[in-house]
Amino acid sequence: EVYVSDKEGDDQDGDGTEQKPFKTSLRALTFAGKEPFPIIYVDSQKGGERWAVISKTQMKNAEDSERREKNLEEARKITIENDSSLPEPKTVKIYQLEPLRGERV
């Protein structure tokens, strides 16, 4: 079981317990790791109840956010470098390209 509270939660210091809930469901999913994810409880909208099970829509949005976050991390690891075996490219405006056909720009 993992607890998430928009009001009282903290993604930095929270540990997902009822006393120290996370602030976002994305943090709860990254804390849980891989599927199958544990039951996530969020602030209840009903009076008298403190916690309610996360809705399917909220869970799907959190999973999508987690997937996007992982993709961004992978993209940050990729670096693009110029091929040193080719001649150095020239920076020119589009209207200046005609005489440079066949050259690297």
**Domains plus CATH for the chain?**
2-77 (3.30.1910.20)
pLDDT at 99: 92
pLDDT at 73: 93
In a structure prediction context, what are the per-residue pLDDT tens digits for the chain, which is 105 residues long?
889 988 888 888 888 888 899 998 888 888 888 778 888 899 888 877 888 888 899 889 988 998 999 999 999 999 999 888 988 889 999 999 999 998 888
pLDDT at 15: 86
Burial class (CB in 10 A: 0-12, 13-18, 19+), 11: middle
Characterize the bridge pairing of strands 2-3 and 51-53. Answer: unpaired
pTM: 0.64
| Angle value at C-alpha 45, between 42 and 47, nearest 5 degrees | 120
E strands along 1-105, which residues? 2-3, 40-43, 51-53
pLDDT at 44: 83
